Amino acid sequence: MNKDLKSRIPVGIAYVIIIGASTLGGVVSTLALLYVFALLCLFEFVKSSIGSQNGSLVYIMGLSIAALSLPLLGIDISKWISYIVYFSVALFTINSGYIFFKKKTFLTESPTVIMSMIYIIFPFLIASILVLTYDEFPKIILGIFVIVWLNDAGAYFSGKAFGKTKLFPSISPNKTWEGLIGGGLLGILICFAISALIGGLTLRHWLIISTIVWVTGSLGDLVESSWKRQLGLKDSGSLLGGHGGFLDRLDSFIYAVPFVSLYYIITQ
C-alpha cells in the first residue's frame, strides 16, 4: 500500500462514518451536517475565486450564513422550494451546456457573490428545506452520498481496468467513457441494497434517482474540474489531506441535489 493511500484511508473512513451517523441520526444531525458542509464548500469556492485577502469573502460568507440559517431558525420558506429547485436546475443545465460548447464553466466568469449563492448555497438550502418537510429525506440524502461513492469507486476501477476512450480530455484527461459507464452500473446495482437497508423510497424510485445522480453527479465533477483548471488549482482545498478539499468530495452531491429534489417533488 503506497503512502498516499495510507493517508487517505483514515480520512475516508471518518468521512463516511460522520455522514452515515448524521443522516441516520435524524433531522437535527442531518441539518447540522448540511450546514457545516455548505459553509466549508462555500469558503473554499470563494477563497479560491477571489482570494482570502478580499473583503468580499467576509461579505459573501455572512450573506450565505444568513441564507442557510433561515430553515434552521424555523422560518418557513418551504413555499419557495419549488421555485428554488426549478431555478437551480435551469441554471445548472445551462452551465452543463456551457461546459460542452465552451469547454469551460461560467462559474469563474460571473460575479462570485451570485455564483456562490447559486452553485453552493441553493443545493444545500434545498436539501435542508426538504429534510425539514419530509421525514424520509435524511435517508435520501444518505442514499445520494452512497450512490456518489459507488459511482466514484466504480468509475475509478473500471477506468483503470478498461479505460481507453477519453470522456472530456480538455477538462479532465484521466476520465474515460468506460469508467463513467462502470461507475453508473455500480451505482444502479447498489440501489437494491439501499432499498433494503436504508429504505425511504421504493426500489423503482431509487433506481431512477441513481440514474439521475449518475448523470448529474458526473456533470458536477466535470464542472468542478473545469473551475479548478481555469483557476490553475489542483484541489479546492487541503482540509481533507490526500482527498483534497470538501468541494472536491462534494461536487457531485452539490450538482445532483437539485435534480433529485425536482424528481422527488414531482413524484409526491
Task: Please compute the mean of the pLDDT values over residues 104-123 and round it to a whole number.
Answer: 79
Q: Please give the grid coordinates belonging to residue 243.
A: 482527498
Taking the C-alpha atoms of residue 81 and residue 183, their distance in angstroms, rounded to an integer, is 31
Comparing CA positions, the residue from 192, 172, 193, 180 lying closest to residue 153 is: 180
8-state DSSP, 119: I
At 61 the pLDDT is: 74
Q: How far from chain centre, in Å, is Cα 204? A: 22
At 45 the pLDDT is: 85
**Domain range holding 15?**
3-267
Residue 135 has pLDDT above 70, yes or no: yes
pLDDT tens profile 199-253: 889 999 999 999 999 999 999 888 888 888 888 877 776 666 656 788 888 999 9
Cell 421504493 belongs to 202
Task: List phi, psi (to 5°) of 201.
Answer: -140, 165
Residue 2 has pLDDT above 60, yes or no: no
pLDDT tens profile 8-66: 677 778 888 999 999 999 899 999 999 999 988 888 888 887 765 555 677 777 777 77
Contact yes or no for 99/251 (Cβ under 8 A): no
Q: How far from chain centre, in Å, is Cα 265? A: 19
Comparing CA positions, the residue from 113, 142, 118, 117 lying closest to residue 206 is: 142
Q: Please give the grid coordinates belonging to residue 166.
A: 477519453
Comparing CA positions, the residue from 130, 103, 104, 114 lying closest to residue 34 is: 130
Contact yes or no for 138/26 (Cβ under 8 A): yes
Taking the C-alpha atoms of residue 154 and residue 66, their distance in angstroms, rounded to an integer, is 38
In DSSP terms, which residues pair with 141 in a beta bridge? none
Taking residue 86's Cβ as centre, other Cβ atoms within 10 Å add up to 13
Split into its structural domains, the chain has a count of 1
pLDDT tens profile 169-190: 778 778 888 888 998 999 999 9
Task: Please compute the mean of the pLDDT values over residues 138-154 and round it to a whole number.
Answer: 92
Confidence class for position 146, pLDDT limits 50, 70, 90: very high
Taking the C-alpha atoms of residue 158 and residue 173, their distance in angstroms, rounded to an integer, is 15
**At 114, is the secondary structure helix, strand, or coil?**
helix
Burial of residue 58 (CB within 10 Å: 0-12, 13-18, 19+) is: exposed
